[in-house]
Structure formats: structure tokens, C-alpha cells
Structure 1
Amino acid sequence: MKPVVSALNAWSCIVVSVFAIVILSIIGSLFSREHHAMVGSTEDPVDGKAVAGSIFGAVVIYGVFLVFCGFQAFLHMRESRRGAISLS
């Protein structure tokens, strides 16, 4: 199987996905616990658990991106070990 995206794009996607998963997980956990920094103001959302559900949905999507890009990076590494010549 050949990679769909370039190696640079695959590794960039991995870095961004890991960073997003970590940051969004922290923010989602703060909303799910209804931490006063997240829901303590009158301008903040009333239902912190609903917001946390949306944020954890984004974490799942970034997890899918991470798996896809990790597979693409694996394909690039496997292809480079075989001595394949890349024209692009």
C-alpha cells in the first residue's frame, strides 16, 4: 500500500493531534467537573457536562486523525527501509 499524504504532512498531523488530544482532554475534564474557572461566570455556559461531551467528541476525532497519520508515517518509514526511490 502506498501513502496518501507526504511524510512531512503525516508527522505534522501526528504532532498536532497529540497536542490537541492533551489540551482538549484537560479542558473537557475541567468542564465535566464544572470547575469554577470554566463555568463560574455569568457569560460561561450553564451546563458544563454538555460542553464536555462536545469537547470529548473532538478528542475522538483527533484520535482518528492520529491513527490515520500514524499509519501514513508507518507506510513512509516502511517504504524508505526498502530503498524505494522517491521522485517527489
Structure 2
Amino acid sequence: MKPLVSAFNAWTCIVISLFAIVILSVIGSMFANGHHSMMGSTDDPTDGGKVATAVFGAVAVYGAFLLFCGSQAFLHRRQTSGGEIALR
């Protein structure tokens, strides 16, 4: 199987996805727990649970990106190490 994206793009996507998962998980947990920095103003949403659900949905999307890009990086590593069978 051949990779769909370049190795650079795959590793960039892995780094960005990991960063986004960590940051959005913290933000989502702050909304879920009603932290005062997220829910303390009059302009903030009133239902933190619904906002947390949306944020954790974004975490799931970034998790899917992470799986896809991780598989692409694995394919690049396997291709360059000679693990792929080539019929000539």
C-alpha cells in the first residue's frame, strides 16, 4: 500500500493533532466542570455541558486525523526501510 500524503505532511499532522487533542481536552474539561474562567462572565454560555460536548467532538475529529496521519507515517517508514514486497 502506498502512502497518500508526504512524510513531512504526515508528521506535521501528527504534531498538530496531538497539540490540539491536549489543548481541546483541557478546554472541554474546564467547560464540563464549570470552571470560573470559562463560565464566569455574562457573555459566556450558560450550559457548559453542551459546549464541552462540542469541544470533545472536535477532539474526536483530531483523534481520527491522528490515526490517519499515524498510518501514513507508518507506511512511509515501512516503505523506506524495505519492508514492502516489490514484485519485479
The TM-score normalised by the length of structure 2 is 0.93
> Which residue does 1:23 correspond to in 2?
23
- Please report how far the alpha carbon of residue 83 of structure 1 lies from its aligned counterpart in structure 2 after TM superposition: 8.4
Taking the aligned partners of 2:26 and 2:2, their CA distance within structure 1 comes to 36
Identity %: 64
Write the letter of the residue equivalent to 1:16.
Answer: I
Deviating beyond 6 angstroms after TM superposition, the runs of 4 or more aligned structure 1 residues are none
Write the letter of the residue equivalent to 1:29.
Answer: S
Alignment of 1:3-42 (within 5 A): 3-42=3-42
Contiguous gaps of at least 5 residues in structure 2 = none
Contiguous gaps of at least 5 residues in structure 1 = none
Q: Alignment length, in residue pairs?
A: 84
Alignment of 1:1-88 (within 5 A): 1-82=1-82
Taking the aligned partners of 2:83 and 2:25, their CA distance within structure 1 comes to 40
Distance 1:48 1:83, change over 3 A: closer
The TM-score normalised by the length of structure 1 is 0.93
